[in-house]
Amino acid sequence: MLLKVSKSSDVKESQVTDESLYRDRRRFLQASASLTAMSLAPSLSMWPAIGSASIDFNKIGKSDFSIDEETTPYDAVTSYNNFYELGLDKGDPKRNAQHLKVKPWSVKVEGECEKPGEYNLEDFISPGKVEERIYRLRCVEAWSMVIPWVGVELGPILKRFQPTSKAKFVQFKTILDPDNLPGQKRPVLEWPYREGLRIDEAMHPLALLAVGLYGKEMPNQNGAPLRLVMPWKYGFKSIKSIVSIEFTEEQPATSWNITGPREYGFYSNVNPEVDHPRWSQKRERRIGEFLKRETLPFNGYADEVASMYAGMDLKKNF
């Protein structure tokens, strides 16, 4: 059943997308154990055994957080990408996607938590409800897309590792494989790519661990097999191909903040009142459209997330 949730942040639009790209939504097979029950598991023996779960793209649950907007064409979403590990030009990630080896895949969890360890992809996905959410995703160069992501809510996954009271932030790192990833042979960034969130941001129900898009498995160029999606932040905060999650007491370093601290802050919330030093962020161009539109605070999700930043100077804490 398609559930439409109207919010004051929704914007009615007319896009060029063929509705057949997303009308035929499929639903995931839900595992019998709920995320709540799994978060209370006393040992890893109660988790699925390695290889016991597989992602079934025949059944996908529709999220209440999906917005009522036409989506960006699939070909644009999968061929116009920022993924510097696979190249600097927007078309390089698709051309070089075969260099990213995604099977098998594991994620190391460490830091201020009670259940550190190395877990395979199925450990993250199978215990929970996998669903489709349609988000606006704003990238860093004043362009945007509307993408139906398939994944699992981040917060309940993180709770399973039982973060301690010292866990104020979460840091994510992507794969480091310079022998195979052509972009990592160049000192464009300090590798591996890393990102970070405040713990309450990571626990917000809009935050998503994505494993697919458009009802299909995640293409390599879009961050297979596991990526973050933070729809109220600029696109570079949604780190791709995650191999490490660390709970920290101190604010972690992030790749773009290391490279250009004047241009890229830790929070990187979409704020049209804060210009990038080299361009205005007051207007954006939706991929597939000719004219620009006004950029919305928090990318249109102010009703859902603005309370987390009450009292903060959002120009200073950009």
- For the chain, give every domain's residue range: 20-254
Q: How far apart are CA 152 and CA 174, in angstroms?
A: 18
The model's pTM is 0.82
Separation CA 250–CA 256 (nearest Å): 18
Q: Which two tokens stand for residue 230?
A: 């933070």
What pLDDT is attached to residue 170? 98
SS (H, E, C) 272-306: CCCCECCECCCEEEECCCCCCEECCHHHHCHHHHH
H-type alpha helices, 96-152: 121-125
Beta strands in the chain (DSSP E): 61-62, 106-111, 117-120, 131-138, 143-153, 169-174, 194-198, 208-213, 216-217, 227-229, 242-248, 283-286, 293-294
| pLDDT confidence of residue 137 | 93
At 279, the amino acid letter reads W
Which residues are paired to 23 by β-bridges? Answer: none
Q: Residue 126's pLDDT is what?
A: 65
Q: What is the pLDDT of residue 128?
A: 56
Whole-number Cα distances in Å, 214 to 117, 244, 264, 284: 31, 26, 30, 23
Q: Please state the separation of Cα 243 from the chain's center in Å.
A: 14
Return the pLDDT at 43. Answer: 31
C-alpha span between 96 and 82 (Å, rounded)? 12
Q: How far apart are CA 318 and CA 299, in angstroms?
A: 14
Whether 279 shows a pLDDT value over 70: the answer reads: yes
Does the pLDDT at position 49 exceed 50?
Answer: no
- For residues 230-236, give the mean pLDDT: 97
Stretch among 20-29, 151-160, 296-305 having the lowest mean pLDDT: 20-29
Taking only the tens place, the pLDDT of each residue in 129-156 is 689 999 999 998 789 999 999 999 999 9
- Report the share of the chain in percent with pLDDT over 70: 81
Cα–Cα distance for residue pair 275/281, rounded to 1 Å: 5
Q: What is the pLDDT of residue 45?
A: 29
Instruction: Please identify which residue in the block is written with the tokens 């997303």.
Output: 22
Segment 190-214 shows an average pLDDT of: 97
Whole-angstrom distance, CA of residue 299 vs CA of residue 242: 24
Query: Of all residues in the chain, what percent carry a pLDDT higher than 90?
Result: 73
pLDDT value of position 37: 32
> What residue has token string 């570079």?
236
The pLDDT score that the predictor gives to residue 8 is 37
**Residue 61 pLDDT:** 87
| Contact predicate 221/86, CB 8 Å | yes
Least confident interval from 41-45, 70-74, 168-172, 201-205: 41-45
Tokens 């713990």, located at residue: 199
Please report which helix (H) or strand (E) contains residue 180, including its range: none
Cβ(125)–Cβ(156) below 8 Å:
no
* Alpha carbons 235 and 217: distance in angstroms, whole number: 20
Dihedral (CA of 6, 11, 14, 16) sign: negative
- Omega cis (within 30) before 187: no
- pLDDT score at 75: 97
Only one residue has tokens 């009142």, namely 273
| DSSP single-letter state for residue 234 | B
Residue 41 pLDDT greater than 60, yes or no: no
pLDDT (0 to 100) of residue 142: 83
Mean pLDDT of 78-91: 96
Most confident of 26-30, 41-45, 124-128, 192-196: 192-196
State mean pLDDT over 257-280.
93
Q: Is the pLDDT of residue 231 over 90?
A: yes
Query: How many C-beta neighbours within 10 Å does residue 1 have?
Result: 5
- Quick one: pLDDT band at residue 185, thresholds 50, 70, 90? very high
- Those residues with Cβ within 8 angstroms of residue 100's Cβ, 6 or more apart along the chain or in another chain: 85, 86, 175, 177, 180, 181, 220, 224, 241
Q: Which of 29-33, 165-169, 249-253 shows the lowest per-residue confidence on average (mean pLDDT)?
A: 29-33
Instruction: Calculate the average pLDDT of the chain.
Output: 84
Residue 54 has a pLDDT of 62
Query: Average pLDDT in the 16-20 region?
Result: 39
23-27, 133-137, 178-182: range with lowest mean pLDDT: 23-27
CATH class of residue range 20-254: alpha beta
Q: Which of 22-26, 205-209, 231-235 has the least mean pLDDT?
A: 22-26
pLDDT at 30 over 80: no
